[in-house]
Amino acid sequence: MKQCIPALVVAGLLLSACVNQETREDVRREIDNQDLVIRELQKKNEDLIARAGVLETKKRTLEAQNEALLSKVASADAVRGVARQLSKLEQELSNLDSGLVTKAHSEGLAIEVHETLLFAPGKATLREAGRKLLTQLAAKLGPTGGNLRVEGHTDSQPIRVTRGQYPMGNLQLSGIRALEVAHFLVSAGGLSPTRVSYAGYGKHRPVAANDTPLNMAKNRRVEIVLLAAGVSKGR
């Protein structure tokens, strides 16, 4: 009877060992299953993060497109506003001088003044008739309130440089003429200096081919550009 007790103990131990082995395997399988679930959840999370990034990029793109559209609408409204101003101004200018031409400009609207009304050939000193015309013009431009840029233009014919005058040729002459007109509009015409800028383009922005005397005369001009809202005075 005494020999049966150790046998029962051994059997119990073996049974316990079997049970513990099965339990460990169950735990291991459970851990493996949990690891699989965790990996799947991590993958789903990564996919969601990636999708969120794509959506955020699309959102920023749409916002940028919307801002661009709003800017275009605002610019169009501003151009229409300037157009209404110019229409009224054009009627008033028609009483001043036949040498003024109003026309569309890429940045607003322009008043073109022929060279001979303002300057002698190759010179940058305002004629008396030009000073009178600019005084009348400034009185009309004052109430518009917008910014303006005076642009000087020449033909392609090289000017004669005398006594060191205008060593840079037509480009320099056009810039000095534009400055002269801009300064007069401010100093004598009463326009605010914060509204007025100037630029000289020489022969580089012709309105006609420089192939005949008549066409070259068209290119020798000063343009006073009424700038649309939001357009920089400098260019």
Domain ranges of the chain: 1-84, 96-227
141 - beta bridge partners? none
Backbone angles phi, psi at 109, to 5 degrees: -140, 150
Helix or strand holding residue 129 (H, E): helix 128-141
Distances (CA, A) of 152 to 43, 142, 203, 220: 66, 21, 9, 8
Report the predicted TM-score, pTM, of the whole model to 2 decimal places: 0.61
Q: What is the DSSP letter of 156?
A: S
- What is residue 103's predicted lDDT score, i.e. its pLDDT? 85
Helix or strand holding residue 181 (H, E): helix 170-187
Report the C-alpha gap between 132 and 68 in whole angstroms. 43
- What is residue 222's predicted lDDT score, i.e. its pLDDT? 97
- What is residue 39's predicted lDDT score, i.e. its pLDDT? 83
Taking Cα atoms as reference points, which of 112, 114, 220, 222 lies closest to residue 157? Answer: 220
User: Could you tell me where the beta strands, DSSP code E, fall in 85-175?
Assistant: 100-105, 108-114, 148-153
Q: Residue 118 corresponds to which tokens in the numbers above?
A: 């303002």
Report the C-alpha gap between 156 and 202 in whole angstroms. 8
- What is residue 27's predicted lDDT score, i.e. its pLDDT? 72
Report the C-alpha gap between 129 and 120 in whole angstroms. 11
- What is residue 81's predicted lDDT score, i.e. its pLDDT? 61
Residuewise pLDDT in 10s, the chain (235 residues): 545 566 666 566 666 666 666 777 777 777 878 878 888 888 888 888 888 888 788 778 777 777 766 555 555 555 566 566 656 666 666 655 556 888 888 888 889 998 899 999 889 999 999 999 999 889 988 887 789 999 999 999 998 766 678 888 999 999 999 999 999 999 999 999 999 999 999 999 999 999 999 999 999 999 999 888 767 766 6
- What is residue 83's predicted lDDT score, i.e. its pLDDT? 60
Q: Residue 111 corresponds to which tokens in the numbers above?
A: 């008043």
Cβ distance 102 to 113 under 8 Å? Answer: no
Cβ distance 223 to 99 under 8 Å? Answer: no
Report the C-alpha gap between 47 and 58 in whole angstroms. 17
Q: Yes or no: is domain 96-227 CATH 3.30.1330.60?
A: yes
Residues 6+ apart with CB under 8 A from 72: none
Q: What is the DSSP letter of 158?
A: P
- What is residue 84's predicted lDDT score, i.e. its pLDDT? 67
Question: Taking CA 213 as the corner, what is the angle to CA 209 and CA 218, rounded to the nearest 5 degrees?
Answer: 60
